[in-house]
Amino acid sequence: MIELTGLTKTFGDHRAVDDLTFTAPSGRVTGFLGPNGAGKSTALRMVCGLSRPDSGTATVDGTRFTDLPRPARVAGVMLDASAQHPGRTGAEALRLAAMAAGVDTSTVAPMLERVGLADAGGKRVGAYSLGMRQRLGIASALIGDPHVLILDEPANGLDPEGIHWMRGLLDDFAADGGTVLLSSHLLTEVQAIADRVVVLHRGRLVMEGDTDALRGEATQQLVQSTDLDALTSVLDEAGISHEAGNAGLIVDAPPASIGELALTHRLVLTRLEPSGGDLESAFLALTRSA
């Protein structure tokens, strides 16, 4: 498992990661979620020993990454999918990763097959699509047969089929007792791939729990009506909390309750949709309740 304890990193006077404590347990896929600039990559780089924390510790299986005798056999890492040399073929890149990890290069062909690149192994990485580079990056992370995976934005650039594929791969990995920690700035991606979520906002932990709990936090509706003032009064009378959003009212109630209320009071709704699909409103809900 991966454990972060009081991890802190400051650049100049900007605290990018602020007293961050959480655990990514084995057997689970933990999503590390936060908007651009929240500090996800900074935290993951510290976990992988690429950057030194100002204070706090990060361990993999109880040991600091830099103290692991053969790190690639313990933890597979993908921090930047575009880091592969564009002039090498996918198979060459993976062969180098295998040698660096100290495993037999006979593992390369089955690994290309496993990530769906069997036909593209002879192609130069420079000619790969973004999604293919992500698959190659995951193959490089897996080549040492680790039981921990640390992936920074692995779903970036994947199409829906690719996301589905990744979920299957990571689920299998976790079902075998593996630990997965992956970052994303998209709530929908984390919902699709992870079963646990850690939410980071301005370097600080905002929430840690099951993905379903986050979905629950985000079940607010965006409501618009031809008579917003009347709708506001009706919601107030019904004791349903709401606030003004950019495109209408953000209402804390299931869609059916809002629809029934509108029907009873003969109000026309011009919009009724979940407002919790985006990270920002989930954050608002989280920080309000915090």
Ligand X SMILES: Nc1ncnc2c1ncn2[C@@H]1O[C@H](COP(=O)(O)OP(=O)(O)OP(=O)(O)O)[C@@H](O)[C@H]1O
Smallest distance from the beta carbon of 172 to ligand X, in angstroms? 27
Per-residue binder mask for ligand X (CB under 6 A), 176-195, x = binder: ---------x----------
Q: Give me 47's structure tokens.
A: 């976990």
Interior angle at CA 79, CA 74 and CA 82, nearest 5: 130
Q: Which does residue 34 bind out of ligand X, Mg ion, none, counting CB within 5 to 8 angstroms by kind?
A: ligand X
Stretch that binds ligand X, among 10-18, 85-93, 99-107, 237-245 (CB under 6 A): 10-18
Interacting positions 24-43 with Mg ion (CB under 5 A): 40-41
Nearer to ligand X by C-beta: 39 or 121?
Answer: 39
Asked if 134 interacts with ligand X (CB under 6 A), we say no
Q: Give me 265's structure tokens.
A: 């009071």
Q: Can you tell me which of 37, 86, 87, 254 binds ligand X, judged by CB under 6 A?
A: 37
Nearer to ligand X by C-beta: 38 or 193?
Answer: 38
Q: Can you tell me which of 18, 29, 39, 201 binds ligand X, judged by CB under 6 A?
A: 39
Stretch that binds ligand X, among 11-19, 92-100, 111-119, 268-276 (CB under 6 A): 11-19
Nearer to ligand X by C-beta: 40 or 135?
Answer: 40
Q: Which residues contact 240 (CB under 8 A, 6 or more apart)?
A: 251, 252, 253, 257, 258, 261
Smallest distance from the beta carbon of 176 to Mg ion, in angstroms? 28
Per-residue binder mask for Mg ion (CB under 5 A), 41-60, x = binder: x-------------------
CB 4 within 8 A of CB 58: yes
CB 254 within 8 A of CB 274: no
Asked if 42 interacts with ligand X (CB under 6 A), we say yes
Q: Which does residue 95 bind out of ligand X, Mg ion, none, counting CB within 5 to 8 angstroms by kind?
A: none
Candidates 36, 30, 16; CA nearest to 280 is 36
Owner of token pair 């593992």? 107
Nearer to ligand X by C-beta: 38 or 132?
Answer: 38
Distance CA 43, CA 64 (A): 14
Smallest distance from the beta carbon of 77 to ligand X, in angstroms? 15
Stretch that binds ligand X, among 33-41, 53-61, 163-171, 277-285 (CB under 6 A): 33-41
Distances (CA, A) of 56 to 2, 4, 6, 46: 14, 8, 4, 10
Q: Give me 111's structure tokens.
A: 């690994």
Stretch that binds ligand X, among 29-37, 118-126, 206-214, 260-268 (CB under 6 A): 29-37
User: In sequence order, what DSSP letters do the residues of 160-217 get, joined into one string?
Assistant: HHHHHHHHHHHHHHHHTT-EEEEEES-HHHHHHH-SEEEEEETTEEEEEEEHHHHHHH
Number of residues interacting with Mg ion: please give it, by CB under 5 A: 2
DSSP 103: -
Beta-strand relationship, 204-210 and 55-60: unpaired
Interior angle at CA 187, CA 134 and CA 76, nearest 5: 35
DSSP 193: H
Q: Can you tell me which of 2, 4, 16, 112 binds ligand X, judged by CB under 6 A?
A: 16
- Write the burial class of residue 42 (CB in 10 Å: 0-12 exposed, 13-18 middle, 19+ buried): buried
The footprint of Mg ion (CB under 5 A) covers 40-41
Binding interface with ligand X (CB under 6 A)? 11, 14, 16, 34, 36-42, 185
